[in-house]
Chain A
Amino acid sequence: MQCSLGPGASPNGNWGPLVTRKSVMRSGLAALLVAPFTASSLVAGRGQESGGSEAESSARAEGRGATDDEIVLGVSAAFSGPSRGLGAELYRGAMAYFNHVNENGGIEGRKVSLRLYDDGYQPDPCVQNTMRLMLEDEVFLLFGYVGTPTVTRVLPILKKFQDESIFLFFPFTGAQPQREPPYGEFAFNLRASYNQETAGLVDNLVRIGRRRIAVFYQIDAYGRSGWAGVRAALDKHGERLAGEATYSRGEKFTGSMRKQVEILQGVSPDAVICIGAYAACAAFARDAVDLGLDVPIANLSFVGSENLLKLLTEGQDDAERYTRQLINSQVVPSYEDTSIPAVQEYRELMARHDPQVPADLVQEEYAPFPHSFGSLEGFLNAKLMGEILRRLGPNPDRAGLEEAVFSIEDFDLGISERVSFGPDRRQGLQSVYHTVVEDGRFVPLDDWGARFG
């Protein structure tokens, strides 16, 4: 398994801008390269230069990232910084499956390996990593990226290089940009969208009479995506957002969210939906309880439920005080439910392989969880990825990827929901699950009214 630090990686995970006239110009040029609004001009440029035939394009795509011995998948994810747990868990779950595949002879005799780079959940390093994966490493495809602000900046690159038939598979984000035009055709998603997650939360909260819903969100593309989802879901019930408060990406659990809590207290919400990562959302839940904001606090799947729970309960005498109002939306079933075949397989392979993040990517200590929603999602991603690679046959080439994905129809991943893809269906799963904390772990929420009514 190959791994490497990203070219823009910072030892302390700090990506604070050094603003100079030159750097502003450079960042401006970089923005022009990858900014969504430039997509049309980039495509126009490609059209001119790619004047060659489709066969020529296809030939160029052939063989890249796939040798007789291995297929290399490129990953840029958060392995450092306050959200490092997200990248680590997703990776661990994926590697549990790929290690199993490789132990059993690989796919058509080829081992699956991941080329890893750390982006610290920051857009610019993610863009640099992607260019490196595509141009230097020439990976077969991009896989398991983490985060909306990172992925939204990468999508225009995929469009720019569409002749190369490079696709992004199963990013750990439920945002819309990789599900809709103009970039939807360059990505394949497995998980349900944030719109589906927020709609599920809003519908249930409104159903139990909690109509004044406020939003606490990360002020970036991820937060805005969730904010838009809540807004749209409320609109269907004839409601508007009761209020909003924001925080900056990269906030740590030790930071204060009291100002945000006070802003939301000012609008007297019936519930708060958080669209953030675990460190900031845990800090918000902690400060909300401390300041007396006693309403349900819901989180989306991206939050990293186990890490959130760990921060809120570690070293607390009365941990239940901070967790009894939590509702966490999930996009995979509970890893505790061993009646589900895929969960059984996941638990068995996690126990057998116990994959760890490569040492040279570990900048800060991270204690992984034996099981987590994140690693289960990574496992399911890898399982479906393996199936797609199998369907490419003995001579895999990028040009055949789309066809292989579209051949997935009613596929049984081992969970209750079956997976299908097609030209107009680029998201495999639609289900959303809701969980609450009981006895220090997340369990399914069956009765909203009894718990929060």
Chain B
Amino acid sequence: MRIRRLFKWTRFGIFAVFGLIVLATSILCIYTVDTELSAEYEVNTQNIAKTIADSSAGILLNQNLATLQSLVDQFLEVQGIRYIYITSETGEFLAHTFVPGIPEEILESEHSNTAPVERSLPGMGDFIEVGSPILAGVAGTVHVGMDLDVVALKIQRAIGQQVYLISVMLVLGVLASIWFVNLAAKPLGELLAYAVELARDGENDELGERDLLARDDEVGHLARLFLHVSRQGGGRGLPAGTSGTTE
């Protein structure tokens, strides 16, 4: 006989608690990964802009623009960096990586601005652009555009991996809890069946030789109690080996 009703709410409760944990962990994970990775990419982009700016000063002063372009091209190999441009202190474009030309939005922007700005460039995508001044801005400014789609993809992938892991843990946890509940329910089912048999045929000697009676736990105590009550025809005394409380 199976004990379904008794543990119905227990199972539901376990599932609900696990679900809540997974949900809360996932939300926290998404928030943390999104915030941390976005900040990391922005900082990296700023560092790259600063590196180029620091390296450009001497090259710019020598007006060696081919070397400057060569420098810029190398940083374009860094994942996520989609464009770089260097403007002079007067706003002239001295090196850039745009093909087939410099976008209108970039041409019209404030070139000395170094604060991060989000840009949506037609045909290119969405970007976060950061700047870094060259020689405190008197020699120009370096601008680096990080592809937000690449950043978003990276973040989604990182979050996806974590949520996948948490979900697997949820499924394993629920399956394990069900198995443990069933483990507890099985002797109770046997006890219930035993009690029913006692009620039907309490004088049968065979009922006094069941393995259930040898159990050293609450189920064993109850089984022996049921047998005793059945044999005595009432609660006039407790059988040997049966205490009044569970241990």
Binding site for B on A (CB under 8 A): 17, 19-21, 24, 27-28, 31, 35-37, 123, 148-149, 152-153, 175-177, 180-181, 219-225, 227-228, 244-248, 257, 259-260, 263
Which residue of chain A has the shortest Cβ distance to B51 in the bound complex?
A: A37
Q: What residues of chain A lie closer than 8 Å to B79, measured between beta carbons?
A: 19-21, 24
Assess whether B66 is in contact with A24, with CB atoms less than 8 Å apart: no
Q: What's the minimum C-beta distance from B98 to chain A, rounded to whole angstroms?
A: 6
Assess whether A176 is in contact with B100, with CB atoms less than 8 Å apart: no
Q: Which of A181, A220, A247 is close to B73, meaning CB atoms less than 8 Å apart?
A: A220
Q: Which of B59, B63, B96, B99 is close to A36, meaning CB atoms less than 8 Å apart?
A: B59
Assess whether A37 is in contact with B95, with CB atoms less than 8 Å apart: no
Which residue of chain A has the shortest Cβ distance to B63 in the bound complex?
A: A228
Assess whether B100 is in contact with A37, with CB atoms less than 8 Å apart: no
Assess whether A221 is in contact with B66, with CB atoms less than 8 Å apart: yes
Q: What residues of chain A lie closer than 8 Å to B20, measured between beta carbons?
A: none
Instruction: List residues of B (61-108) whose CB comes within 8 Å of A's CBs.
Output: 62-71, 73-75, 77-79, 95-102
Assess whether A220 is in contact with B70, with CB atoms less than 8 Å apart: yes
Q: What residues of chain B lie closer than 8 Å to A263, measured between beta carbons?
A: 100-101
Q: A24-B79, A28-B78, A149-B70 are in contact. Are A260 and B100 (CB under 8 A)?
A: yes
Q: Which of A19, A222, A245 is close to B77, meaning CB atoms less than 8 Å apart?
A: A19
Q: Which of A37, A176, A180, A244 is close to B55, meaning CB atoms less than 8 Å apart?
A: A37
**13 other contacts beyond A20-B79, A177-B64, with CB at 8 A cut-off?**
A24-B78, A24-B79, A27-B78, A31-B74, A35-B74, A180-B62, A220-B69, A220-B70, A224-B65, A228-B66, A248-B99, A257-B100, A259-B100
Number of A-B contacts (CB under 8 A): 92
Q: What's the minimum C-beta distance from B144 to chain A, rounded to whole angstroms?
A: 15
The answer to whether the Cβ of B125 comes within 8 Å of any Cβ in the partner chain is no
Q: Can you give 19 A-B contacts (C-beta < 8 A)?
A: A17-B77, A24-B79, A35-B55, A36-B59, A36-B71, A37-B58, A37-B71, A176-B66, A180-B62, A180-B64, A219-B69, A220-B73, A223-B69, A224-B95, A228-B66, A246-B98, A247-B100, A259-B101, A260-B101
Q: What residues of chain B lie closer than 8 Å to A20, measured between beta carbons?
A: 79
The distance in angstroms between the C-alpha atoms of A227 and B67, with both chains bound, is 13
The distance in angstroms between the C-alpha atoms of A37 and B102, with both chains bound, is 26
Assess whether B66 is in contact with A219, with CB atoms less than 8 Å apart: no
Assess whether B77 is in contact with A246, with CB atoms less than 8 Å apart: no
Assess whether A244 is in contact with B101, with CB atoms less than 8 Å apart: yes
Q: Which of A31, A177, A259, A260 is close to B66, meaning CB atoms less than 8 Å apart?
A: A177
Q: What residues of chain B lie closer than 8 Å to A17, measured between beta carbons?
A: 77
The distance in angstroms between the C-alpha atoms of A245 and B40, with both chains bound, is 34
